[in-house]
């Protein structure tokens, strides 16, 4: 969960929450997901766990049925005035199950002047029991009427967040292919050592961010191999890289350490070619 969103829960309990926030994010869906978790955490009638199934309130939030939580998304191109009027109507009474009425406006950048003006009452005469969240991935396009009345928070998600589930999706599969070829060369064919850095990596990617992504995928591959060796799960099989099975548990752990060290150094702006050579040499020395 994003730290900034997590902190909202703390602020709530300290009674320091503002009545309106503009969450500027690079990932609207993740941000909405985290925000809903935070709202559950605030209102859960049980001891909140990430996947609370026990309490009525969390269940209602999961199904988008909690009357005091309204999420408004663009209907077609924009957010219509009627959507805001309906929100006003629903929030004209005090909440029943929760302390506050909470609304979330997704893609706040598409709110036009008419819809924004309809919201002003919420924003200018903050009722004690209404909290609003505006989520946007384009804060510069959010109309000033809204922006100036909200506390703006930056909710940033690591765009390189990867895991085994998404490793072969459209966005990542080219990187996975490069990672796969590279690993086969340095682990199995071996004879050309550091030359593979050029032929398998640098001839394809020259940007630091691209190399970083390939190496993050390498970490995932070895982590899955490790889980496979520990018989925790079988996801490694889906990668079709059984030629790595000869590596021992200890070998795999060592490789994960080398890769993480590489990624650290890469973030510290060290020379990419030197780092890659060092990585291959360290790897060879250990096998």
Binder of Zn ion out of 46, 75, 161, 171 (CB under 5 A):
46
Number of residues that bind Zn ion (CB under 5 A): 5
Q: Which residue, among 162, 123, 169, 157, has the nearest Cα to 21 in the 3D structure? A: 123
Binder of Zn ion out of 58, 162, 186, 263 (CB under 5 A):
58
Q: Which stretch binds Zn ion (CB under 5 A): 56-64, 101-109, 246-254, 260-268?
A: 56-64
Least distance to Zn ion, CB of residue 97, Å = 11
The three-class DSSP label of residue 86 is: helix
In whole angstroms, what is the distance from residue 8 CA to residue 277 CA?
A: 45
Query: Which residue, 54 or 238, has its beta carbon nearer to Zn ion?
Result: 54
User: Which tokens in the block code for residue 175?
Assistant: 């990187």
Place of tokens 């199904």: 63
Binder of Zn ion out of 38, 52, 102, 186 (CB under 5 A):
52
Query: Which residue, 46 or 209, has its beta carbon nearer to Zn ion?
Result: 46
Query: Which residue, 9 or 178, has its beta carbon nearer to Zn ion?
Result: 9
Query: Which residue, 52 or 276, has its beta carbon nearer to Zn ion?
Result: 52
- At residue 146's C-alpha, the angle toward residues 144 and 148, to 5°, is 65
User: Which tokens in the block code for residue 89?
Assistant: 């109507």
Query: Which residue, 62 or 129, has its beta carbon nearer to Zn ion?
Result: 62
In whole angstroms, what is the distance from residue 98 CA to residue 68 CA?
A: 7
Burial of 171 (0-12, 13-18, 19+ CB in 10 A): exposed
Least distance to Zn ion, CB of residue 99, Å = 15
Q: Which stretch binds Zn ion (CB under 5 A): 58-66, 70-78, 123-131, 188-196?
A: 58-66
Binder of Zn ion out of 1, 4, 17, 55 (CB under 5 A):
55
Q: Does 44 bind Zn ion (CB under 5 A)?
A: yes
In whole angstroms, what is the distance from residue 96 CA to residue 88 CA?
A: 16
User: Which tokens in the block code for residue 267?
Assistant: 């973030």
Residues binding Zn ion (CB under 5 A) = 44, 46, 52, 55, 58
């Amino acid at each position: 969960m994003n730290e900034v969103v997590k902190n909202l829960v703390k602020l709530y309990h300290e009674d320091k929450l503002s009545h309106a926030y503009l969450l500027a994010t690079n990932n609207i869906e993740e941000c909405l997901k985290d925000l809903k978790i935070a709202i559950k955490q605030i209102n859960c009638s049980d001891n909140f766990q990430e996947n609370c199934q026990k309490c009525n309130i969390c269940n209602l939030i999961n199904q988008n049925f909690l009357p005091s939580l309204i999420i408004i998304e663009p209907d077609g191109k924009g957010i219509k005035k009627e959507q805001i009027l309906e929100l006003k109507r629903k929030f004209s009474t005090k909440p029943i199950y929760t302390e506050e009425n909470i609304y979330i406006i997704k893609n706040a950048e598409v709110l036009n002047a008419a819809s924004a003006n309809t919201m002003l009452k919420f924003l200018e005469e903050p009722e004690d029991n209404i909290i609003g969240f505006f989520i946007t991935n384009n804060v510069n396009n959010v109309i000033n009427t809204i922006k100036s009345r909200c506390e703006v928070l930056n909710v940033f998600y690591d765009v390189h967040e990867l895991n085994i589930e998404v490793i072969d999706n459209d966005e990542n599969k080219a990187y996975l292919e490069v990672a796969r070829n590279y690993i086969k060369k340095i682990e199995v064919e071996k004879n050309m050592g550091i030359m593979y850095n050029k032929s398998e990596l640098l001839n394809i990617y020259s940007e630091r961010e691209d190399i970083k992504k390939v190496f993050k995928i390498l970490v995932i591959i070895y982590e899955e191999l490790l889980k496979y060796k520990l018989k925790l799960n079988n996801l490694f099989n889906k990668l079709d890289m059984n030629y790595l099975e000869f590596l021992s548990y200890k070998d795999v752990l060592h490789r994960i350490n080398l890769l993480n060290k590489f990624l650290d150094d890469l973030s510290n702006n060290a020379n990419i070619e030197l780092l890659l050579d060092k990585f291959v040499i360290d790897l060879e020395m250990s096998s």
